[in-house]
Amino acid sequence: MLIDTYGRVATDLRVSLTDRCNLRCTYCMPEEGLQWLAKPDLLTDDEIVRLIDIAVRMLGIEEVRFTGGEPLLRPGLVGIVERVAALAPRPQMSLTTNGIGLKRTATALKAAGLDRVNVSLDTLRPEVFKALTRRDRHKDVIEGLEAAHAAGLTPVKINTVLMPSLNEDEAPDLLSWAMERGYELRFIEQMPLDAQHGWKREGMVTAGDILASLRTRFDLTPEDADARGSAPAERWLVNGGPHRVGVIASVTRPFCAACDRTRLTADGQIRTCLFATEETDLRAALRNGAPDEEIARIWKLAMWGKKAGAGLDDPSFVQPDRPMSAIGG
């Protein structure tokens, strides 16, 4: 079991498969990209599967989310999913993606055992998409969403970040569009995880702003608090249901007290929080021949030291030196 000193138990593992991405979202990385990890520094497919096996067999992990960077850029992704699906106990598996490669991979991922996907889409306007991501790939994302839905990777969830003066007016249109297609929309407050450290709390589009915008067109009823559990998104029934909309307010309404996550970076480091500035190295233990029991012990020790919260409201908060693309969202 992965338990910390505050009694929280981690059952959800986020696995970053690569730090690379084929978009250049303004809230994540600079236009020229980043200095990517060298291939020898990345975990191999076998190492990833072994660590996930240890997590589900010895540490109580029940859910695995594959992230990036952009996980569809990982050549061995389908094989990794297939091997994890064969583990006992079998964890639930999902994927967070920008959607660009889903049209060609959705069917294979479903056949391999993937349960569902989260797709990032911040706008319905191609010109705004190009401004936000610095790439003209809006059509590819839309087609990727359609392919995921058709393949049965459901519920298909859409993650949206609203930015001032770019797409902050689109919340009602995005919700209407998502409901028409059977997608579940979740808005995410912009977080201080950009490589260029340009994030500023003042002026950001908050959960309160998002809900106020949605209520200009929809009636929102809060979902029962018990239904949320440890999920990061607060959810509302839209016009009485059955459709729902979620808001992940990591900055203004932190949910650290219910956190059940542990994170594995693409180069084999354990992070106890998305905003952590410390990491614990599992790759070295793997490559030095440590047995599963020793790796599990190191992982448990790392989780035991997890802090009470992210500390975003603390004036002394220091932004992590790794961008979101390197540690998985």
SS3 (DSSP) at 280? strand
Alpha-carbon distance of 202 to 223, in angstroms, equals 29
Angle at 215 between CA 211 and CA 218, to 5 degrees: 125
Please say whether the beta carbons of 20 and 328 come within 8 A.
no
- Other C-beta atoms closer than 10 Å to the C-beta of 242 total 8
Q: Which residue in the block uniquely carries the two structure tokens 């989310």?
A: 65
What the block records as the tokens of 262 is 């542990």
Residue 231 has what pLDDT?
76
Domain residues of the chain, as ranges? 2-326
Residue numbers belonging to the annotated binding site: 14, 21, 25, 27-28, 65, 69, 96, 120, 157, 191, 256, 259, 261-263, 273
Residue numbers belonging to the annotated binding site for GTP: 14, 65, 96, 157, 261-263
Residue numbers belonging to the annotated binding site for [4Fe-4S] cluster: 21, 25, 28, 256, 259, 273
Residue numbers belonging to the annotated binding site for S-adenosyl-L-methionine: 27, 69, 120, 191
Per-residue pLDDT of the chain (329 residues; tens, 9 = 90+): 999 999 999 999 999 999 988 888 877 776 666 678 889 999 999 999 999 999 999 999 999 999 998 999 999 999 999 999 999 999 999 999 999 999 999 999 999 999 999 999 999 999 999 999 999 999 999 999 999 999 999 999 999 999 888 999 999 999 999 999 999 999 998 865 545 455 455 668 899 999 999 999 999 999 887 666 667 889 999 999 899 999 998 888 877 888 999 999 999 999 998 878 889 999 999 999 999 999 999 999 999 999 887 655 554 445 555 555 555 55
CATH number of 2-326: 3.20.20.70
- Other C-beta atoms closer than 10 Å to the C-beta of 329 total 21
SS3 (DSSP) at 144? helix
Please report the beta strands in 150-281, taking only residues with DSSP state E, as ranges in sequence order.
157-160, 184-188, 220-222, 234-238, 244-248, 261-264, 269-271, 280-281
Contacts of 248 (CB under 8 A, 6+ apart): 186, 187, 188, 189, 232, 233, 234
DSSP-derived secondary structure for 75-114: TTHHHHHHHHHTSSSPPEEEEEE-STTHHHHHHHHHHHT-
- 257, containing H or E segment: none
Please say whether the beta carbons of 19 and 325 come within 8 A.
yes
